[in-house]
Amino acid sequence: MPVVQVEGVHKRFGEVEVLKGIDLSVESGEVVAIIGRSGSGKSTLLRCINGLEQIQSGRIQVAGHGLDASAHGLRDLRKDVGIVFQSYNLFPHLRVGENIMLAPRVVLGVSKVEARSRAEETLAEVGLAERFDAWPDNLSGGQQQRVAIARSLAMRPKVMLFDEVTSALDPELTGEVLATMERLAAHGMTMLLVTHEMAFAERVATTTVFMHQGKVWEMGPSAKLFDAPQTAELKQFLGGGLK
Amino acid sequence: MGFQFQFGAVFARSDLLLEGLLQTLQLAGMAIVFGGLLGILLAALRSLAPRAAGVLIDVYVELIRNTPFLVQLLIIYFGLPSIGVKLTAEQAALIGLVVYLGSYVTEIVRAGIESVHKSQIEAGLSLALTRWQVFRYIVLAPAIARVWPALASQFVLVTLATSVCSFISVQELSAQASNIESDTFRSFETYITVALIYLAIALTLRVLFAGLGAVLFPTGSGLGRLRGQSGA
Amino acid sequence: MIREFTQSEFIFILSSARWTLLLTVLSLVLGGLFGFVVAIARTSRLAPLRLLAAGWIGVVQGIPVLILLFLAYYGLSMLGFDLPPIVAASISMAFYASAYLGEIWRGCIQAVPWQQWEASTALAFSRPQQYRYVILPQAMRIAVAPTVGFIVQLVKNTSIVSIIGVIELARAGNLVNNATFQPFKVFGTVALIYFAICWPISLLARRLEGKLNASRAG
Ligand SMILES: Nc1ncnc2c1ncn2[C@@H]1O[C@H](COP(=O)(O)OP(=O)(O)OP(=O)(O)O)[C@@H](O)[C@H]1O
Ligand SMILES: [Mg+2]
């Protein structure tokens, strides 16, 4: 059974229909990249998948949770779905280690010892083991973003969503975050990522989805999609200076 | 348990309520006009005048803002006559309110003036405006526009503070309330009625000041008006 | 008989400051608890709660402290509570403080960036958990300076309760003035004592505000 299953999802903001019938499924261990123009609905789709936005029709199943559920059900779903945004949104009043330990402690109720070992483990995974006691404000953007990733990982999610996590970073800091994600993918994490880094998508993603005007316009194995785009829109998008 | 609301006795003295209301409005209105002007003047002086004057203004602001209005009022009402200055209670109240509000307005407008950027002043000077024109149109007007909400709530606060003038027997709304109360013995009803009147005044003033702000500062700064006047 | 304003009068006035301070502390604690509830209700997701809190703030901020005092005093006695003046005074000052603190703290809660709500929502925090672990700790840092600033207002407004017979600073001044007829000396002394209490608090508030702004800019 797929980890993420999206069927016929429609999403409107007031009168504006942003998602116009999305079908998508992500198998365990798969890395799916979502590309597309600004405003095509990429972020909205990710936000729907962990219930930050409500959908008007369709069905979303994530890691065995339905999305139609109550507030309580939503929280259960979010325990299994990590999401990282373009802005890192670390908790500024907590040190790096505490940032990571908080949700496992409070939400999952794990012991302090267990939370700490999770934090150390995930920090090591993103290459920041030695910054456990640092304040978020004293880290570079790239480091903060990696802490944000570690913070999500400490919940042991079944799938990770990334929404343009490198877009706010200086070019020289992008690499470290992408490397972190690539390592995660190599370790078998199921990932759904919105990105403008075409080379990264082509190399790391098993499948790439091209969204256009609120629809999945074209989708396929990354190599194939980038080498031989079928639709005029994707050709234009890929030719539009990004590659 | 056996208590029954009886507003009739209170309403029967609506003549007193009206008298009190007028006195309150008169006090508040004059306090806002003169206290507002005093504060703007002192804030302007403080940013234009030499240091010594600035220190004096600071002392005034700090002294007034860190002591109760009631005590200020008592000093004026009992103190001034003791050195030969004859004052009615109303006059003492007005002086007290103006001095009190003036200190807050000084502080608020000063903050507004400080928030005006140097580059705007230089831009104004380079347009061959005089220093006074620069101050009036590029510093003061935008400063007041910016702090207008804070000024407006201070005006409402001073209006409520007029109730303290009943301590020196000014026959404003609160004093009339205690007159009615001692006449009718309907304490709770009296004060509910008066509370509602104050509430109505406060709400009206809020709406009024919001509207006034929209009329006076349509663009949120004084620059729009300047442009209009120079005909460009 | 006219008395002189001597050391003993001064000590009488000075010692009455303890009632001013006690009233301030009581109304700060009570009003703070109540104001906290008001602030939480004001930022609730439930519209009726928000409305109720907004209504409370609007009403209390539209009524003079003096009238609030009488309302609490006579209202409570009408309900059968025969309260000592100091208690009635504390309660009415607490009502007053709850509205102003509630409004100040609402602002502080809303000053926490919305992304902090979103990040914690995504981490599966419940609403109370978000308040407790993410939002309030940040709001509290923002709240310190304006809260300290409000304490000055509270100290000053306790002078009004002299009217129901609590012998705090202002009332003590009145009593001494009635005996000595030296208003400048007496009320000047009273004012100076208030100033000695309030000014340091004002300075502290300003320093805290400066610190917060500096840490935000940095
Ligand atoms: N909360 C909202 N309220 C109203 N409209 C919204 C909201 N969020 C997004 N939209 C609109 O939905 C459309 C899709 O937005 P979305 O953020 O999903 O696009 P995107 O593909 O992620 O774009 P980008 O590459 O710029 O991030 C846009 O037209 C946007 O203006
Ligand atoms: Mg987006």
Domain extents for chain A? 4-238
Burial of C82 (0-12, 13-18, 19+ CB in 10 A): exposed
Atom of ligand 1 nearest to the CA of A164: 27
Q: Find the C43 Cα to ligand 2 centroid distance in Å.
A: 28
Q: Which of B1, B25, B66, B76 best tests the C interface by mutation, with the highest count of C CBs <10 A?
A: B66
Inside any domain, residue B179:
yes
pLDDT band at B224; cut points 50, 70, 90: very low
Q: Roughly what angle, to the nearest 10 degrees, separates helices B51-65 and B89-114?
A: 120
Q: Is the pLDDT of residue C147 over 80?
A: yes
Contact C125 A50 (CB under 8 A): no
Q: Is the pLDDT of residue B222 over 60?
A: no
Atom of ligand 1 nearest to the CA of A196: 25
Chain C closest-CA separation from residue A227 CA (Å): 36
Q: What is the CB neighbour count within 10 angstroms for residue B178?
A: 17
Q: Which of A9, A22, A44, A216 to mutate to test the pocket of ligand 1 (most atoms within 8 A of CB)?
A: A44
Inside any domain, residue B17:
yes
Instruction: Find the closest chain C residue to B153 by CA distance.
Output: C61
Kindly list the partner chains of chain B, i.e. chains with 3 or more CB atom pairs below 8 Å: C
Q: pLDDT tens-digit profile of B50-91?
A: 788 889 999 999 999 999 999 999 999 999 988 889 899 999
Query: Cα(A62)–Cα(A52) distance, rounded to whole angstroms?
Result: 13
Interface B:A, ≥3 CB–CB pairs < 8 Å: no
Q: Name residue A65's amino acid.
A: H
C119 touches chain A (CB under 8 A): yes
Inside any domain, residue B1:
no
More confident residue, C119 or B8: C119
Query: Cα(C136)–Cα(A121) distance, rounded to whole angstroms?
Result: 29
Query: Cα(C109)–Cα(C41) distance, rounded to whole angstroms?
Result: 11
- Residues of C with Cβ-Cβ distance to B70 under 8 angstroms: 159-160, 162, 170
> What is the pLDDT at residue B115?
86
> What is the pLDDT at residue C86?
86
pLDDT band at B186; cut points 50, 70, 90: confident
Q: Is the pLDDT of residue C217 over 70?
A: no
> What is the pLDDT at residue B231?
34
Q: pLDDT tens-digit profile of B10-48?
A: 777 788 889 999 999 999 999 999 999 999 999 999 888
What's the fold here for domain C7-217? MetI-like fold (1.10.3720)
The number of distinct structural domains making up chain B is 1
Inside any domain, residue B116:
yes
Residue with tokens 């405003």, as numbered in its chain = A39
> What is the pLDDT at residue B92?
96
Sheet with A159-163: strands ordered across: A81-84, A159-163, A190-194, A31-36, A207-212, A215-221
Query: Cα(A126)–Cα(A139) distance, rounded to whole angstroms?
Result: 14
Residue C55, by phi and psi: left (phi above 0), alpha (psi -120 to 50) or beta? alpha
Chain C closest-CA separation from residue B72 CA (Å): 8
Average pLDDT over residues C74-98: 88
- Residues of A with Cβ-Cβ distance to C133 under 8 angstroms: 102, 106
Answer whether A147's CB lies under 8 Å from A180's CB.
Answer: no
pTM score of the predicted model = 0.90
Q: Find the A57 Cα to ligand 1 centroid distance in Å.
A: 18
**Is residue A43 lining ligand 1, measured as CB closer than 6 Å?**
yes
Q: Report the top-level CATH class of A4-238.
A: alpha beta
Q: Is the pLDDT of residue B2 over 80?
A: no
> What is the pLDDT at residue A213?
92
Contact A106 C129 (CB under 8 A): yes
Q: Which of C176, C143, C149 is nearest to C162 (CA)?
A: C176
Contact A155 C121 (CB under 8 A): no
Query: Cα(C158)–Cα(B67) distance, rounded to whole angstroms?
Result: 11
Average pLDDT over residues B178-187: 82
pLDDT band at B130; cut points 50, 70, 90: confident
Q: Is the pLDDT of residue C216 over 80?
A: no
Strands A4-13 and A16-26, bridge-based pairing: antiparallel
Instruction: Find the closest chain C residue to A49 by CA distance.
Output: C122
Contact C191 B72 (CB under 8 A): yes
Average pLDDT over residues C100-105: 97
Contact C133 A50 (CB under 8 A): no
Answer whether A208's CB lies under 8 Å from A226's CB.
Answer: yes
Q: pLDDT tens-digit profile of C8-35?
A: 888 999 999 999 999 999 999 999 999 9
CATH at residue B32: 1.10.3720.10
Average pLDDT over residues C146-157: 96
Q: Which of C52, C124, B20 is nearest to A69 (CA)?
A: C124
Atom of ligand 1 nearest to the CA of A36: 21
**Is residue A13 lining ligand 1, measured as CB closer than 6 Å?**
yes
Contact C119 A89 (CB under 8 A): yes
Answer whether A20's CB lies under 8 Å from A56's CB.
Answer: no
C14 touches chain B (CB under 8 A): no
C164 touches chain B (CB under 8 A): no
The answer to whether ipTM exceeds 0.90 is yes
**Helical spans, DSSP H, in chain C:** 7-42, 47-60, 65-78, 85-111, 114-122, 127-129, 136-157, 169-180, 183-217
Domain boundaries, chain C: 7-217
Interface B:C, ≥3 CB–CB pairs < 8 Å: yes
Query: Cα(B91)–Cα(B170) distance, rounded to whole angstroms?
Result: 9
pLDDT band at B179; cut points 50, 70, 90: confident
> What is the pLDDT at residue C1?
58
**Is residue A195 lining ligand 1, measured as CB closer than 6 Å?**
no
Contact C124 A75 (CB under 8 A): yes
Q: Which of C62, A79, C151, A58 is nearest to B196 (CA)?
A: C62
Q: CA-CA-CA-CA torsion for C1, C2, C5, C10, nearest 10 degrees?
A: 40
Q: Which of A83, A93, A160 best tests the C interface by mutation, with the highest count of C CBs <10 A?
A: A93
Q: Per residue of chain A (243 residues), what is the pLDDT tens digit? A: 789 999 999 999 999 999 999 999 999 999 999 999 999 999 999 999 999 998 888 999 998 888 766 778 889 999 999 999 999 999 999 999 999 999 999 999 999 999 999 999 999 999 999 999 999 999 999 999 999 999 999 999 999 999 999 988 888 889 899 999 999 999 999 999 999 999 999 999 999 999 999 999 999 999 899 998 899 999 989 886 444
Answer whether B201's CB lies under 8 Å from B53's CB.
Answer: no
